[in-house]
Structure 1
Amino acid sequence: MINYFTKFNPYQSKKFYIIILLFIVITITGCTSNAQSTNNQIKPELEQQVLQIIRDNPEVIIESVQAYQQQQQQERQASQKEILQQFKNNPQAQISDSPTLGSTAQKIVLYEFSDFQCPFCAKAQGNIKQFMDKHQDRVTLVFKHLPLARIHSQAIPAAKASWAAQQQGKFWEYHDALFAQQNRLGEELYVEVANNLGLNIDKFNSDRQSEKATTAIETDIKLAQEIGVSGTPFFILNGETFSGAVKLSQMEETLAKVVE
């Protein structure tokens, strides 16, 4: 609510004036044919006036940018919080068609955003396996693809190969083989593992080259972006997040927290 009895602040008034002036400049210099002739007549004068004001009051511009950035950050945090709450309240919707392991009840769900070429993801696998061996009767593990293609050239090909293996019911076996032989990621390994698992090679090759494989992986990437995930591995356990080559003790502590 506006307080009309607030003491007049000349600095705030000047700041308000500058913002209004900038808004007017932006408005009248918009890309409309009707405003073009007017724009040509008054733009130099206004431009010089605004530039002088900025020179005399740089702190106003800085504060405005900082306020905008803070607002954007708060909005992102609110959106991320809402999405994380959905992971907790409606896990089935977030799981979708992703591969799962462990409890079928899907009451306590551990989401792993991972990249097959990420060394930290490979390092985390041992602790994840120990955790799931102990809690597989009540925890559901969900794998989400987050290939960091800018730094890992084999991240997307490996993700597509694992997705193709999933179509023949062999995702987790394929997943384990890729992480176990991370230093060999490449076409030769993808076909070799598929053969070792007894996959139909024609179907495997067709599936990993399909639009469906691309869409599935892009869906996971988009979800990660909405949450604000910037690196791998990243985990969500009933709304609680943690990341990196996580220790088993940290996973146990987070589990204890969510079941309280």
Structure 2
Amino acid sequence: MKKLGFRSHLQRAAKWVGFVLLSWLLVMGSYPALAEPISSQLEEQVLQIIRKHPEVILESVRTYQKQQQDQQRQAQQAFVDQMKTNPRAVIGQSPTIGAKAGKVVLVEFSDFQCPYCAAASATLKQFLAKHGDEVTLVYKHFPLTTIHAEAMPAAKAAWAAGQQGKFWEYHDALFTNQKQLGAAFYSQTAKTLGLDVQRFERDRSSKAAEAAIVQDLLLGEKLGVEGTPFFVMNGAVLAGSVELPELEATLEKVKG
């Protein structure tokens, strides 16, 4: 399972710590009226606080982590409830395959440059071949842009193919030829699939493509998705390159 890098988590925590320290400085009055340029003074104030009170950093990080965990739990519960009561709202405009009105909805967060996602894609094909009459697979984009340079361009290309009804064919081509990802491959694949290439190129560079992918990313972040692939099947969470027996066991559990 590919995960967001440590740097990303550190940056999020650092922002929170910086906010806490700045707030403390202002409240304590140790930063008079912000009259002088804040860069050098703030740096020195923060360094002094850290030297005298290193526990502030730890406490701030713990507070940040707890808030994040609480928010993720609430978002996950809301998502699970919505999957049960209004699955169409969860699906939205995302591409689907399998049962048209399945009682079981399997939401996948995936990255086209992630090798574990490619392996999971092959497993999902087997799963749907056996259970496609009762399970609806929903694809959500979650490109890990900090570690995969082609993840976002590939996601935009797949979205553009979807605008012409060929998302899943394009999806398969991307995962099958993962080492060839790049602008030339995206255009050639569109041509091979018989797409209107001019429209495809226009769509994949559009603001609409970016907005659709960012919407999926924001949903994934709210749910606490940190790596790919990540699955939610009627509320049951599965992470990593799952095997067929695990998917089938989960299916029986959520059906029961």
Normalised by the shorter chain, which TM-score bucket?
Answer: 0.7 to 0.9
Contact 2:127 / 2:244 at 8 angstroms: preserved in 1?
yes
C-alpha distance in 1 between matches for 2:24 and 2:167: 58
C-alpha spacing 1:189/1:74, structure 2 compared with 1 (3 Å): same
- Structure 1 equivalent of residue 3 of structure 2: none
- Structure 2 equivalent of residue 138 of structure 1: 134
Cα RMSD for the two superposed structures: 2.7
Deviation of 1:86 (Å): 2.1
Figure out how many residues of one structure are paired with residues of the other and give that number: 221
1:68 and 2:63 aligned: yes
Unaligned runs of 5+ in 1: 1-22, 37-46
Contact 1:84 / 1:227 at 8 angstroms: preserved in 2?
no
Amino acid in structure 2 at the alignment position of 1:170 = K
Contact 2:25 / 2:31 at 8 angstroms: preserved in 1?
no
Q: Which has the larger radius of gyration?
A: 1
- Structure 2 equivalent of residue 155 of structure 1: 151
3-state secondary structure, aligned to 1:174: helix
Deviation of 1:206 (Å): 0.5
1:29 and 2:29 aligned: yes
Higher relative contact order (CA 8 A, sep 6+): 2
Q: 2:210 aligns with which of 206, 209, 214?
A: 214
C-alpha distance in 2 between matches for 1:25 and 1:253: 54
The percent identity for this pair of structures is: 47
Deviation of 1:85 (Å): 2.6
Deviation of 1:70 (Å): 6.1
Deviation of 1:124 (Å): 1.1
- Structure 2 equivalent of residue 19 of structure 1: none
For residues 37-65 of structure 1, give each alpha carbon's deviation from its aligned partner in whole angstroms, at most 9, with x where no partner exists.
xxxxxxxxxx9xxx7xx96x987x58854
Contact 2:97 / 2:137 at 8 angstroms: preserved in 1?
yes
Deviation of 1:188 (Å): 1.6
Amino acid in structure 2 at the alignment position of 1:29 = G
C-alpha spacing 1:180/1:25, structure 2 compared with 1 (3 Å): closer
Deviation of 1:127 (Å): 1.0
Q: Give TM-score scaled by structure 1 length.
A: 0.76
3-state secondary structure, aligned to 1:245: coil
Deviation of 1:193 (Å): 1.0
- Structure 1 equivalent of residue 18 of structure 2: none
Deviation of 1:29 (Å): 2.3
1:100 and 2:62 aligned: no
Q: Give TM-score scaled by structure 2 length.
A: 0.77
- Structure 2 equivalent of residue 7 of structure 1: none
Deviation of 1:79 (Å): 3.1
C-alpha distance in 2 between matches for 1:208 and 1:160: 5
Deviation of 1:80 (Å): 2.7
Aligned pairs for 1:45-124 (under 5 A) are: 64-65=59-60, 68-69=63-64, 71-72=66-67, 73-124=69-120
1:167 and 2:147 aligned: no
C-alpha spacing 1:100/1:25, structure 2 compared with 1 (3 Å): closer
Contact 2:102 / 2:133 at 8 angstroms: preserved in 1?
no
C-alpha spacing 1:122/1:66, structure 2 compared with 1 (3 Å): closer
Deviation of 1:125 (Å): 1.4
Contact 1:120 / 1:244 at 8 angstroms: preserved in 2?
yes
